[in-house]
Amino acid sequence: MADILDQSEVDALLAAVSAGSMDGDASGIEIGTGAGSGSTSREVSVYDFKRPERVSKDQIRALHSIHESFARILGASLSSFLRAIVETRVATIEQLTYSEFIHSLPSPTCFVLLSAPQLIGQMCLELSPLIVFPIVDRLLGGTNAGIFIPQRPLTSIEMRLVDRIIDRALENLSEAWSELITVRFEVVGTESNPHLVQIVAPTEVVVVIGFEIKIGARAGTMSICIPFNVIEPVIGKLATQSWLAYSRSPGDSDKARQVTKSLQRAEVQAVAYLGETRMTVDELLSLAPGDLIRLDKPHERDFVIRLKGRNKYAGRLGKLRGHRAIQITRRCDPDEGL
């Protein structure tokens, strides 16, 4: 019973607390994992439940790599479309709550809702008026010199022009995401006031990728908001090791399959060389239908088949359904004589 305090000791403790002589800081408290003298202390870290980090740093770096590729493709695509030098780069990438993202946007703005059949949920793409109106001015033949940026929603004509930019951006985004998953992004809605759009709960975690777009002296921002539930099915592929291994395998790339499929339909000229001979100009001029030309190659030897001027195959002469033909017998050496 030695651990039980008597009344005088309890009174002394209460007096010390009232006088403020005891340190009540929570940092001095140790949390035990066991009972009695064998308990061990554990470090306590602060966790903000309002802003949980559900995407790891490795996965953030993988997303950064994907959208850096998207920025390069988009810059080249817009440069050819607008006939002006367009620079696009990834400026920021961070985890926020959806409400924080919405309150960080200007109003009105160009706010587009995206979806893909392969993914669950919707994404957001926002184009700042600081870059939208210079693009519209450029498409209508302007020079962006001294252009006024109005604080109003886009008109129907302006929105149709911006739709052409958004369509190109979605094609480039689908191409960049093809290294992760075969996906096709589509526009499901547009809005000028982002506060009217609620695709997820206000406290839901989203990954926001911010881009900087420059056209001459004009610059603006573009943001892509990806809710966690959209990338959750493919979040395992975003780990650094699996992502690097995945991106190094060209056989799994949809782009490689498309190139291969296109090459299969390409036409190639094939020429079979039957042999060579020498004759004078007088003999050449005197040739007539039915004349025979003696070649220097025996008929039992293989004939060389060239593709685009390079030796490719060797074969024998024959007939197929009444037509002259060559049956391929082997691959030809690059330096084999005709």
DSSP annotation of 154 reads P
Residues paired with residue 123 on neighbouring β-strands, in sequence order: 114
CATH architecture of 57-261: 3-Layer(aba) Sandwich (3.40)
Residue 8: Cβ-neighbour burial (10 angstroms; 0-12, 13-18, 19+): exposed
| pLDDT tens for each residue of the chain, 338 residues long | 455 667 777 777 777 776 665 554 444 444 444 444 455 567 776 655 655 567 888 888 888 999 999 999 999 999 988 888 899 999 999 998 999 999 999 889 999 999 988 888 899 999 999 999 999 988 888 877 778 888 899 999 999 999 999 999 999 999 999 878 888 999 999 999 999 998 998 988 899 999 999 988 889 999 999 998 888 888 777 764 444 444 444 444 567 777 777 777 778 888 887 778 888 898 888 888 888 888 777 767 788 888 877 888 888 888 888 888 888 888 887 777 76
In the chain, where the domains are located: 57-261, 270-331
Pairing of strands 110-115, 123-127: antiparallel
Residue 62: Cβ-neighbour burial (10 angstroms; 0-12, 13-18, 19+): buried
CATH code linked to domain 270-331: 2.30.330.10
Residue 239: Cβ-neighbour burial (10 angstroms; 0-12, 13-18, 19+): middle
